[in-house]
């Protein structure tokens, strides 16, 4: 499916949280809530026919024969290469090993910024439900300057050996990362976790830079690499479930674009993505390139817009969700009443967190089981 690209659209997000409102266009949009789904893991492969296990003697004999054959073959290859002057340590193990590692999905998933010292989390607040907000400031390699993020830690964090799924959140143009807290993120997560609607999780609110950088790598401002850098630091610092299925990324407006762009650009890292009042300009190519990966691994996506949004065109949501489904993702879309405003975000925050939490819950259950 071809998705229209509106390159002339200027994405704007007002700085003042109290001024985020636009006049409506009239008419009431039907309220759509995220479906109640829990993604299933692929069934375990069983052998086509049950066979009696080989005896210990047979297994040992087969193992020795295989080793002898491999050693003989390797010796023949080494002799041939040595006679031709082609055998070096680099040729034998260096180049081939490096190429196979670079092409493997695990290598793609683990490729991040250079290893750097772990940041220190500083407690900021704790609420009556027992959850807390911590903040970290650190020297970012990706930004060549200061990086920062805030972390929601659920009630009971640190009192058990539990490992947690993680939700990464990207804010809009010129917003602070604390905008998610002003929306009520901490209270909504407390409520959903207390009612067992979602599992306990960690939420990371990444502080981006000023202006419409769209969370992309452009010249010296490498904000996509910055997000991956923070994700790597979180997995090294906190007791996370460090797998694709246990990582979600979401954002609003510019952050909605950034979340979708980063999820599609790094398909081995994130298994869940959400765009709140976001846009999808120029993402057709990345989505097409991801088709083989998404058809094999899947992706859970939810995107929504506001009926009277004059900034991010809500009519783009359904076609992009359809394109995601055609590529192999489980994708849903909705258009809610409201505009490009904090009020619209706040009204549907609980539903969006529930959708993410259910997907992450499958990974948590898988690890616990």
- In this structure, what token pair is assigned to residue 85? 């002057």
Contacts of 113 (CB under 8 A, 6+ apart): 141, 142, 225, 228, 229, 232
pTM above 0.75, yes or no: no
Contact 326, 1 (CB under 8 A): yes
Give the separation between CA 169 and CA 276, rounded to whole angstroms.
Answer: 11
Please give the Cα distance from 213 to 322 (Å, whole number).
Answer: 27
Instruction: Mention every residue, 6+ apart, whose C-beta is less than 8 A from residue 331.
Output: 299, 300, 301, 302, 303, 321, 322, 324, 325
CA distance 336 to 347: 10
CB-CB contact of 183 with 177 (8 Å) = no
Report the relative pairing of strands 300-306 and 330-336 from DSSP bridges.
Answer: parallel
Report pLDDT for 91: 36
Query: And the tokens for 276?
Result: 């709140």
Question: What is the domain partition of the chain in residue ranges?
Answer: 57-103, 116-368
Ramachandran bin of 167, using left for φ above 0, alpha for ψ from -120 to 50, beta for the remaining angles: beta
- For residue range 200-216, list pLDDT tens digits in order: 999 999 999 888 899 99
- CA gap 203, 151 in Å, rounded: 6
pLDDT, tens only, 27-55: 333 333 433 332 322 222 223 333 334 44
Backbone dihedral angles phi then psi of residue 25, each to the nearest 5 degrees? -105, 0
Instruction: Flag residues of the chain having pLDDT under 50.
Output: 1-62, 64-65, 68, 77-113, 369
Q: Nearest-5° angle of CA 118, CA 368, CA 274? A: 65
Question: CATH assignment of 116-368?
Answer: 3.40.50.1820
Angle between helices 185-194 and 342-368 (to 10 degrees): 40
Beta-sheet pairing, 145-153 with 132-140: antiparallel
**Distance, CA of 337 to chain centre:** 27
- DSSP letters for 320-352: HHHHHHHTT-EEEEEEESS-SSHHHHHHHHHHH
**Count of CB atoms within 10 A of residue 87's CB?**
14
User: Which pLDDT score is estimated for 74?
Assistant: 53
């Amino acid at each position: 499916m071809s998705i229209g690209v509106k390159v002339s659209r200027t994405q704007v997000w007002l700085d003042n949280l109290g001024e985020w409102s636009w006049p409506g266009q009239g008419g009431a949009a039907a309220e759509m809530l995220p479906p109640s789904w829990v993604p299933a893991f692929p069934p375990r492969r069983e052998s086509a026919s049950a066979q009696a296990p080989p005896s210990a003697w047979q297994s040992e004999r087969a193992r020795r024969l295989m080793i002898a054959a491999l050693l003989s073959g390797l010796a023949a290859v080494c002799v041939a290469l040595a006679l031709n002057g082609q055998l070096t340590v680099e040729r034998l193990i260096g180049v081939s090993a490096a190429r196979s590692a670079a092409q493997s999905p695990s290598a793609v998933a683990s490729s991040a910024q250079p290893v750097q010292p772990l940041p220190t989390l500083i407690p900021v607040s704790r609420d009556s439900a027992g959850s807390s907000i911590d903040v970290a400031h650190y020297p970012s390699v990706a930004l060549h300057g200061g990086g920062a993020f805030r972390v929601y830690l659920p009630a009971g964090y640190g009192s058990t050996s539990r490992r947690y799924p993680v939700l990464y959140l990207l804010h809009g143009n010129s917003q602070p990362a604390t905008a998610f807290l002003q929306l009520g993120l901490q209270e909504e997560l407390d409520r959903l976790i207390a009612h067992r609607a979602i599992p306990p999780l960690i939420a990371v609110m990444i502080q981006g830079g000023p202006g419409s950088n769209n969370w992309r790598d452009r010249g010296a401002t490498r904000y996509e690499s910055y997000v991956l850098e923070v994700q790597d630091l979180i997995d090294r610092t906190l007791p996370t479930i460090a797998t694709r299925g246990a990582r979600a990324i979401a954002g609003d407006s510019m952050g909605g674009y950034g979340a979708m762009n980063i999820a599609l650009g790094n398909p081995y890292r994130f298994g869940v993505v959400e765009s709140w009042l976001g846009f999808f300009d120029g993402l057709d190519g990345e989505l097409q390139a991801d088709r083989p990966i998404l058809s094999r691994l899947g992706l859970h996506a939810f995107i929504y817009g506001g009926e009277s949004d004059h900034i991010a065109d809500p009519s783009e949501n359904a076609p992009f969700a359809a394109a995601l489904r055609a590529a192999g993702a489980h994708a849903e879309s909705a258009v809610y009443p409201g505009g490009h405003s904090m009020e619209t975000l706040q009204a549907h925050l609980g539903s969006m967190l529930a959708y993410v939490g259910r997907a992450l819950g499958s990974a948590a259950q898988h690890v616990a089981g």
